[in-house]
Amino acid sequence: MSKVLVVIGHGMVGHRFVRELRARDRNGSWRVIVLAEEPVPAYDRLHLSERARGAPEAQLSLPGADFASDDGVELRLATRAARIDREAREVLCADGARVRYDALVLATGSRPFVPPVPGHDLPGCHVYRTLADVAAIRAAARPGHTGVVVGGGLLGLEAAGALQALGMRPHVVEGAPWLMPLQLDEGGGAVLARLVTELGVAPHCGVGLKSVDAGPDGTVRSATLADGTVLDTSLVVFSTGVRPRDELAADAGLRTGERGGFHVDGHCRTADDRIWAVGECAAVDGRCFGLVTPGYRMAESVASTLTGDSPAPLSDPDLSTELKLLGVAVASFGDAHARTAGAVEYAHTSGDGDRYAKLVLDATGGTLLGGVLAGDSSSYGRLRSLLGHRLPGAPEGLLWVS
């Protein structure tokens, strides 16, 4: 008889894991039960702004997300896992159901972090994480009015694009000195700010949110920044990062990382040899990664293990990224912030100020360690392929120069 594999969570990484396992499990060793908290199957969270622009929900669905044609997978929607009983090897669900497992994979993802500023929970405050969040924002949007996004990272700029698509005038509040501080440096952030301003988005960098203020009806009337600026608005979207969803750990006696997440080893296994964790909820050797690409690597590794292979432990993941935010191309790769001892930076901004590129080289100036691109990422593929290698020529020869 097949063993039972329970997966808690059906986001992008949880879905990738199930697909990888089913593709590798040629002997049908596992029967899979997926407990999905949301009422819809897995979808592409990276393109939620397309839903704000009017795309149907089905357009964001991931391939085969409902498992309708797969008899080896049972998908239970709107089913929240409330507790793990490790002794009985059961997951207790909020609806009272008990699901026994032979192996358990935690793919619970993360939740939005909302800073505890005064007024953060007023009617008119939203987060930007799920289809339900986008639906609430669509219902609250007032075309022609100001909307405020708190957080100028990847999702914050996506949220700003969603508000703009809904006819609003978005302002983005970022406490760091420039936009996308995790991926870009000061030069790249400056070019990004210039370009999004031209597109109708107003960035406020280097300043935090002091409070969200209520009007006479008790709903959001304005947002006050730490420098005293008051933005009149009825809609505030928080996109200030995420926290791993590891609330199942405490009752189950599972260790968590210093900054949260289920603590796992290089094979994504917890201290319980029947339980794994993948994606944003997994703290690999104590460290969580908030990007989908490392999560996919974890999913593939665990699927390989559970189907009899012996994959190598996960190494430091590649956090390189290339994307378009509000139509502006940005990319970062390798040691983008030049943290390697002795690293040398070669940076160039185009004459019109619309493009920026930086290469990070080793102390000899000959080996590529990383880089940042903003406004034009056409050289990303070639540069990324050169990581760790000697440059074939002078740095400027690898970039556009104007």
* pLDDT for position 402: 39
Q: Could you give the 3-state DSSP secondary structure of residue 347? A: strand
Residue 83 burial class via C-beta count within 10 angstroms: exposed 0-12, middle 13-18, buried 19 and up: middle
Please give the mean pLDDT across all residues of the chain. Answer: 94
DSSP structure class, residue 97: -
What is the distance, to the nearest Å, from the Cα of residue 216 to the centroid of all Cα atoms in its chain?
36
- Backbone phi, then psi, for 85, in 5-degree steps? -100, 95
Q: What gap in Å lies between CA 113 and CA 98, rounded to an integer?
A: 30
Q: Which H or E run includes 3?
A: strand 3-8
* pLDDT for position 401: 42
pTM (two decimals): 0.91
Within a 10 A sphere around the Cβ of 230, how many other Cβ atoms?
13
Strand extents, DSSP E, 11-161:
30-35, 73-76, 81-85, 90-93, 98-100, 103-106, 110-112, 125-127, 146-150
Per-residue CA distances from 35 to 43, 87, 100, 272 (Å): 15, 20, 12, 20
The C-alpha angle 62, 65, 69, rounded to 5 degrees, equals 135
Q: Mark the ranges of the chain whose per-residue pLDDT is less than 70.
A: 1, 400-402
- By DSSP bridging, strand 3-8 and strand 30-35 are parallel
- By DSSP bridging, strand 220-225 and strand 209-214 are antiparallel
Is residue 152 within 8 Å of residue 183, measured between CB atoms?
A: no
SS3 content of the chain, % helix, strand, coil (to 5): 25, 30, 45
- By DSSP bridging, strand 242-244 and strand 230-232 are unpaired
Within a 10 A sphere around the Cβ of 70, how many other Cβ atoms?
14
Q: What gap in Å lies between CA 368 and CA 371, rounded to an integer?
A: 8
